[in-house]
Amino acid sequence: MRTITEIRRTNGSKSAREKLLSVASDLFYNKGIRAVGVEEIVATAGVAKISLYRSFRSKDDLIVAYLESNNEAYWKEIDAICSPHEGDPRAKLHALLNYVAQRTTKPGYRGCPYISYCGEFPDHSHPGHSVAEANKREWRGRLLRIAEEIGACEPKQLADGLMLLIEGAYALSQTLTGKGAPGRVIVWAAEALVENQTAGRRRP
Protein backbone atom coordinates (compact mmCIF):
# COMPACT_ATOMS: atom_id res chain seq x y z
CA MET A 1 0.00 0.00 0.00
CA ARG A 2 1.32 3.46 -0.88
CA THR A 3 1.93 6.10 1.78
CA ILE A 4 0.05 9.42 1.71
CA THR A 5 3.26 11.18 0.62
CA GLU A 6 3.71 8.77 -2.29
CA ILE A 7 0.09 9.19 -3.38
CA ARG A 8 0.34 12.98 -3.31
CA ARG A 9 3.64 12.95 -5.23
CA THR A 10 2.14 10.70 -7.92
CA ASN A 11 -0.94 12.88 -8.22
CA GLY A 12 0.88 16.20 -8.27
CA SER A 13 0.11 17.15 -11.88
CA LYS A 14 -3.38 15.63 -12.12
CA SER A 15 -6.75 17.38 -12.11
CA ALA A 16 -8.80 17.32 -8.90
CA ARG A 17 -11.06 14.61 -10.34
CA GLU A 18 -8.10 12.47 -11.38
CA LYS A 19 -6.47 12.91 -7.97
CA LEU A 20 -9.64 11.97 -6.15
CA LEU A 21 -10.25 8.90 -8.29
CA SER A 22 -6.64 7.75 -7.97
CA VAL A 23 -6.60 8.19 -4.21
CA ALA A 24 -10.05 6.65 -3.73
CA SER A 25 -9.09 3.66 -5.87
CA ASP A 26 -5.98 3.03 -3.79
CA LEU A 27 -7.82 3.40 -0.49
CA PHE A 28 -10.90 1.43 -1.53
CA TYR A 29 -8.82 -1.48 -2.76
CA ASN A 30 -6.45 -1.65 0.20
CA LYS A 31 -8.78 -0.75 3.07
CA GLY A 32 -12.24 -1.65 1.83
CA ILE A 33 -14.86 0.69 0.40
CA ARG A 34 -17.05 1.05 3.49
CA ALA A 35 -14.03 1.64 5.73
CA VAL A 36 -12.99 4.73 3.75
CA GLY A 37 -14.89 7.98 4.18
CA VAL A 38 -14.89 11.03 1.95
CA GLU A 39 -12.95 12.97 4.58
CA GLU A 40 -10.03 10.55 4.32
CA ILE A 41 -10.16 10.67 0.52
CA VAL A 42 -10.02 14.46 0.26
CA ALA A 43 -7.37 14.72 3.00
CA THR A 44 -5.15 12.17 1.26
CA ALA A 45 -5.71 13.79 -2.14
CA GLY A 46 -4.93 17.23 -0.70
CA VAL A 47 -8.01 18.86 -2.20
CA ALA A 48 -11.03 20.66 -0.76
CA LYS A 49 -14.10 18.58 0.05
CA ILE A 50 -16.17 20.65 -2.37
CA SER A 51 -13.92 19.37 -5.18
CA LEU A 52 -15.14 15.85 -4.56
CA TYR A 53 -18.79 16.81 -4.93
CA ARG A 54 -18.04 18.88 -8.01
CA SER A 55 -16.47 15.80 -9.59
CA PHE A 56 -18.77 13.10 -8.19
CA ARG A 57 -22.36 13.59 -7.07
CA SER A 58 -21.96 11.13 -4.20
CA LYS A 59 -19.68 8.47 -2.77
CA ASP A 60 -21.68 5.92 -4.77
CA ASP A 61 -20.72 7.73 -7.99
CA LEU A 62 -17.09 7.62 -6.89
CA ILE A 63 -17.39 3.89 -6.19
CA VAL A 64 -18.78 3.28 -9.68
CA ALA A 65 -15.99 5.38 -11.22
CA TYR A 66 -13.43 3.33 -9.26
CA LEU A 67 -14.89 0.05 -10.52
CA GLU A 68 -15.14 1.31 -14.11
CA SER A 69 -11.58 2.65 -14.10
CA ASN A 70 -10.25 -0.62 -12.71
CA ASN A 71 -12.23 -2.60 -15.26
CA GLU A 72 -10.82 -0.58 -18.16
CA ALA A 73 -7.23 -0.94 -16.92
CA TYR A 74 -7.72 -4.65 -16.26
CA TRP A 75 -8.84 -5.49 -19.79
CA LYS A 76 -6.02 -3.46 -21.28
CA GLU A 77 -3.62 -5.61 -19.28
CA ILE A 78 -5.38 -8.80 -20.35
CA ASP A 79 -5.34 -7.70 -24.01
CA ALA A 80 -1.60 -7.10 -23.78
CA ILE A 81 -1.13 -10.63 -22.45
CA CYS A 82 -3.30 -12.17 -25.18
CA SER A 83 -2.14 -10.23 -28.22
CA PRO A 84 1.13 -12.14 -28.79
CA HIS A 85 -0.85 -15.40 -28.98
CA GLU A 86 -3.58 -14.55 -31.50
CA GLY A 87 -4.23 -17.62 -33.62
CA ASP A 88 -2.99 -19.99 -30.91
CA PRO A 89 -5.84 -20.39 -28.37
CA ARG A 90 -3.98 -22.91 -26.21
CA ALA A 91 -1.02 -20.57 -25.85
CA LYS A 92 -3.37 -17.69 -25.13
CA LEU A 93 -5.15 -19.65 -22.41
CA HIS A 94 -1.82 -20.76 -20.93
CA ALA A 95 -0.64 -17.13 -20.78
CA LEU A 96 -3.88 -15.97 -19.17
CA LEU A 97 -3.83 -18.65 -16.50
CA ASN A 98 -0.15 -18.06 -15.75
CA TYR A 99 -1.06 -14.42 -15.21
CA VAL A 100 -3.87 -15.38 -12.80
CA ALA A 101 -1.59 -17.82 -10.95
CA GLN A 102 1.13 -15.18 -10.50
CA ARG A 103 -1.33 -12.44 -9.61
CA THR A 104 -3.23 -14.42 -6.98
CA THR A 105 -0.14 -15.80 -5.22
CA LYS A 106 1.76 -12.51 -5.15
CA PRO A 107 2.54 -11.22 -1.62
CA GLY A 108 0.26 -8.35 -0.68
CA TYR A 109 -2.36 -9.13 -3.30
CA ARG A 110 -5.72 -7.88 -2.00
CA GLY A 111 -7.99 -10.00 -4.17
CA CYS A 112 -10.47 -9.31 -6.95
CA PRO A 113 -11.97 -5.83 -6.44
CA TYR A 114 -15.33 -7.01 -7.79
CA ILE A 115 -15.60 -9.93 -5.39
CA SER A 116 -14.61 -7.58 -2.56
CA TYR A 117 -17.13 -4.98 -3.68
CA CYS A 118 -19.98 -7.51 -3.89
CA GLY A 119 -19.12 -8.75 -0.41
CA GLU A 120 -19.45 -5.21 0.93
CA PHE A 121 -22.53 -4.32 -1.13
CA PRO A 122 -24.71 -7.45 -1.44
CA ASP A 123 -27.76 -5.45 -2.54
CA HIS A 124 -27.89 -5.81 -6.33
CA SER A 125 -29.66 -2.47 -6.65
CA HIS A 126 -26.39 -0.68 -5.82
CA PRO A 127 -25.09 0.89 -9.07
CA GLY A 128 -21.68 -0.79 -8.89
CA HIS A 129 -23.16 -4.24 -9.41
CA SER A 130 -23.63 -3.65 -13.13
CA VAL A 131 -19.89 -2.98 -13.48
CA ALA A 132 -18.95 -6.06 -11.44
CA GLU A 133 -21.31 -8.25 -13.45
CA ALA A 134 -20.01 -6.85 -16.74
CA ASN A 135 -16.46 -7.75 -15.72
CA LYS A 136 -17.39 -11.35 -14.99
CA ARG A 137 -19.53 -11.68 -18.12
CA GLU A 138 -16.63 -10.40 -20.20
CA TRP A 139 -14.38 -13.06 -18.65
CA ARG A 140 -16.95 -15.75 -19.40
CA GLY A 141 -17.35 -14.57 -22.99
CA ARG A 142 -13.61 -14.52 -23.62
CA LEU A 143 -13.20 -17.99 -22.18
CA LEU A 144 -16.05 -19.27 -24.33
CA ARG A 145 -14.37 -17.92 -27.47
CA ILE A 146 -11.11 -19.60 -26.47
CA ALA A 147 -12.93 -22.87 -25.77
CA GLU A 148 -14.54 -22.72 -29.21
CA GLU A 149 -11.21 -21.95 -30.89
CA ILE A 150 -9.58 -24.85 -29.06
CA GLY A 151 -12.25 -27.17 -30.45
CA ALA A 152 -13.82 -28.28 -27.17
CA CYS A 153 -16.64 -30.78 -27.55
CA GLU A 154 -18.71 -28.71 -25.11
CA PRO A 155 -17.33 -25.15 -25.24
CA LYS A 156 -19.77 -23.67 -22.71
CA GLN A 157 -18.96 -26.38 -20.20
CA LEU A 158 -15.23 -25.85 -20.64
CA ALA A 159 -15.59 -22.06 -20.38
CA ASP A 160 -17.56 -22.36 -17.16
CA GLY A 161 -15.06 -24.83 -15.73
CA LEU A 162 -12.21 -22.43 -16.52
CA MET A 163 -14.22 -19.57 -15.03
CA LEU A 164 -14.65 -21.49 -11.79
CA LEU A 165 -10.90 -22.12 -11.62
CA ILE A 166 -10.12 -18.44 -12.12
CA GLU A 167 -12.70 -17.19 -9.64
CA GLY A 168 -11.63 -19.83 -7.14
CA ALA A 169 -8.03 -18.64 -7.40
CA TYR A 170 -9.13 -15.05 -6.82
CA ALA A 171 -11.28 -15.98 -3.81
CA LEU A 172 -8.69 -18.26 -2.18
CA SER A 173 -5.99 -15.63 -2.56
CA GLN A 174 -7.31 -13.95 0.59
CA THR A 175 -7.26 -17.03 2.82
CA LEU A 176 -4.55 -19.37 1.50
CA THR A 177 -1.73 -17.08 0.43
CA GLY A 178 1.82 -17.14 -0.88
CA LYS A 179 3.71 -19.39 -3.26
CA GLY A 180 2.22 -22.54 -1.76
CA ALA A 181 -1.36 -21.40 -2.35
CA PRO A 182 -3.70 -23.57 -4.47
CA GLY A 183 -3.82 -20.86 -7.15
CA ARG A 184 -0.39 -21.93 -8.38
CA VAL A 185 -1.84 -25.14 -9.89
CA ILE A 186 -4.49 -23.39 -11.95
CA VAL A 187 -2.57 -24.00 -15.21
CA TRP A 188 -2.32 -27.73 -14.51
CA ALA A 189 -6.02 -27.94 -13.60
CA ALA A 190 -7.03 -26.04 -16.73
CA GLU A 191 -4.93 -28.26 -18.95
CA ALA A 192 -6.73 -31.28 -17.50
CA LEU A 193 -10.09 -29.72 -18.40
CA VAL A 194 -8.93 -28.87 -21.90
CA GLU A 195 -7.60 -32.37 -22.46
CA ASN A 196 -10.90 -33.83 -21.32
CA GLN A 197 -12.83 -31.64 -23.74
CA THR A 198 -10.57 -31.96 -26.74
CA ALA A 199 -10.36 -35.73 -26.39
CA GLY A 200 -14.08 -35.80 -27.03
CA ARG A 201 -15.02 -37.25 -23.66
CA ARG A 202 -18.21 -35.95 -22.10
CA ARG A 203 -18.94 -35.82 -18.45
CA PRO A 204 -21.94 -37.89 -17.31
Per-residue pLDDT tens digits for 75-131: 999 999 999 999 999 999 999 999 999 999 888 889 999 999 999 999 999 999 999
What single letter denotes the amino acid at residue 56?
F
pLDDT number for residue 5:
44
User: How many Å apart are CA 113 and CA 95, to the nearest integer?
Assistant: 21
Angstrom distances, CA of residue 121 to CA of 39, 54, 63, 117, 187: 21, 25, 11, 6, 31
Contact yes or no for 45/23 (Cβ under 8 A): yes
| Residue whose C-alpha is closest to residue 63's, from 139, 4, 118 | 118
CATH number of 67-198: 1.10.357.10
- What are φ and ψ of residue 117, in 5° steps? -60, -50
- Domain boundaries of the chain, sorted by first residue: 1-56, 67-198
Fold of 1-56: Arc Repressor Mutant, subunit A (1.10.10)
Q: Number of helices and strands (H, E) in the chain?
A: 10, 0
pLDDT along the chain (204 residues), means of 10: 46 76 96 96 93 94 97 97 96 96 89 96 96 97 97 97 95 78 86 90 48
Which pLDDT score, from 0 to 100, does residue 184 have?
A: 83
Cα 197 to Cα 144: distance, rounded to the nearest angstrom: 13
The pLDDT value given to residue 106: 87
pLDDT of residue 15: 85
Give the Cα-Cα-Cα angle 164, 169, 175 (nearest 5 degrees).
130
The pTM for the full model equals 0.86
Specify the pLDDT at position 200: 55
Give the pLDDT of residue 178. Answer: 66
